Amino acid sequence: MSSPGRQAGPISRILQPIRARLILAAVLAGTGSMLTLVPLAGIAHIAGIALDPAIAKAQPGIWTTILASVACLFAGMALISLGELAAHLADNRITHQLRLQTMQRLGQVPLGWFTSRASGEVKQAMQDDINTLHSLTAHFYTATGRAVGAIAISVLYLFAMDWRLALIAILPFPGFFLFFGRAMKASGGNMEQFVAGMGRINNAVVEFVNGIPVVKAFGATGRAHGSYRTAVDAFAEAFAAFTRPLIGSMASANALIAPVAVLGVVVLAGTACVAMGWMAPVDILPFALVAPGISAPMLLLHYLTHDLNNATGAAQRVQALLDTPVLAQPAPPQQQVPAGTEIRLEGVGYAYDGQSQVLSDINLTLPPGTVTAIVGASGAGKSTLARLLLRFFDPTEGRITLGGVDLQHIATAELYRRIGFVLQEVRLIHASVRDNIALGRPSASLQQIEAAARLANIHDCIVALPRGYDSVVGEDAQLSGGELQRVSIARAVLLDPAVLVLDEATAAADAENEVAIQDALSRFAHGRTLLVVAHRLDTVMHADHIVVVENGAIVEQGTHAALLVDNGRYAQLWRLGGYQGSTDKAELPC
């Protein structure tokens, strides 16, 4: 049985701070397990005295044996309890550390890291996987110690009684591992199909559940049920192929070390030894009492292997989270304060994971107090450009400066005091509306928060909630997408930044909310430097500067009128959007 420290790196690294405590806990539990088995030897000794009183003259008597057995039993129970206490204290310590470390790590990773991951993935590592590690830290070591201790003391005792019968009595246990290994090898070839089947059925379930409204609306039940049924049938076949080799071998393995089977081996072998004059009948009793007891700890070791495998996967995910690259922060001597609000992008390029090129050779200047609009078809790189300006991630080429200072030399708190943003994906925390608006400025007064909410056209909606500004988002504050967007605008208003980045701020709003959002943004943006990412051209036609992005590069830039005269890509998008000769709003083609 291999210990967790010998597993792959993640478990070893995670358990390093408490390894000594866990080893001590295992030793205490193992020693206690040994002591609790002493009464079995005491019973065998008392039975021997009862059958042959002459034994008492050369060995301890009945009362001495009883007292020693009881003392060992209570001492063993005390040591096991101490071991469990030590393990749980160690678990409490490492759980506390891991939660703090993951929280601190996530506070340092680039904001763009979150946009590429589902919240469930982060939640699994921070909550579920750390909970899974509890079985490893709080129970695995002590359970292993108890099992190994019980097996070790039992085998030593049996060999001390009679090595010949001891060899025969433990023969079923190597056979157990032989059958178990054969079962694992037989089913291992079908593991890939089993995992693939699990993936297919998960996808089919999600597809089926998400498609229920469409199925009901159009009555396509047969087709929807068919894909789900196909996935279930395929999984059933994969599951049968995976488990079929296990059934026979595991049944044989478990039957081989069943206490009744071990006892039968002991009785038959002991009878033969007595017949050959190797031992007296009373000498078989210790083997009959102790040998069958080895079965339980042996099976426990087998089950602990599965727990260790689960813990290994959890440890890998937690360690991967702890190893997430953080956003480089300038040391205090290297921190610089921007002189002004001019933004410059100089030869900027970006590639996701250093491979998939999204932007290349972007050169752009945003003069103070001007509105610059980024337009282009879906997937052109508009949002990536905006997120680079917000330092959700750093460029892989070139640099971005604010007031002549590279963003990488500006402290994060200083940067977000100067650059505010309103994105399409609104993120609010599970807290009151007041706390959500004041998230970037916790010291703000209620009057300042209300003023920001009025400017964002959301104040009337908030006061209509059951508890007004104290209403909790997700509980008694059920806000629509447009209302959530206006709360995020109020949050930006309260920070009062000199630079504002708007990324599709009205894309998910209905007509009524869009008017309110546009009005709020127009009042808030006055006098600020704006970078606007837009999908509808008519919303930015009055911008000071319009930049057309195509395939990650700037292909045109200028004013609305000049770009229409040039009759290039912008003019083509304008015509394709249906704006020519009309003031109706239309979406850009994807």
Helical axes 295-322 vs 172-188, angle rounded to 10°:
40
Alpha carbon distance 366, 342 (integer Å)? 6
Could you read off the pLDDT of 317-360 as tens digits, one per residue? 788 778 777 777 766 766 778 888 889 999 999 887 666 788 88
How confident is the model at residue 77, as a pLDDT?
A: 94
**What letters, b where the CB count within 10 A reaches 16 and e where it falls short, cover 271-281?**
eebeeeeebee
Alpha carbon distance 551, 554 (integer Å)? 8
Beta-strand pair 553-558/545-550: antiparallel
Alpha carbon distance 397, 388 (integer Å)? 11
**What three-state secondary structure class fits 425?**
coil
How confident is the model at residue 590, as a pLDDT?
A: 29
What is the pTM assigned to this prediction?
Answer: 0.61
Alpha carbon distance 453, 520 (integer Å)? 10
Find tokens 């000594």 and name the residue.
Answer: 20
Alpha carbon distance 234, 228 (integer Å)? 10
The answer to whether the beta carbons of residues 124 and 314 sit under 8 Å apart is no
**What three-state secondary structure class fits 570?**
helix
Alpha carbon distance 252, 325 (integer Å)? 50
Taking Cα atoms as reference points, which of 404, 403, 409 lies closest to residue 333? 409
- Which tokens belong to 309? 């495998």
Alpha carbon distance 133, 214 (integer Å)? 41
pLDDT along the chain (590 residues), means of 10: 49 84 93 91 80 62 85 94 93 87 74 57 68 83 92 91 88 79 62 60 60 51 59 70 67 78 88 86 86 86 72 77 74 76 90 78 89 85 86 88 88 83 78 87 89 86 90 83 83 85 67 64 74 80 87 89 89 75 38
How confident is the model at residue 110, as a pLDDT?
A: 66
Alpha carbon distance 107, 570 (integer Å)? 40
Q: What angle do CA 23, 27, 31 make, to 5 degrees?
A: 170
Alpha carbon distance 488, 437 (integer Å)? 7
Q: What is the 3-state secondary structure (H, E, C) of 17-70?
A: HHHHHHHHHHHHHHHHHHHHCHHHHHHHHHHHHHHCCCHHHHCCCHHHHHHHHH
How confident is the model at residue 23, as a pLDDT?
A: 92
Q: What angle do CA 67, 71, 73 make, to 5 degrees?
A: 120
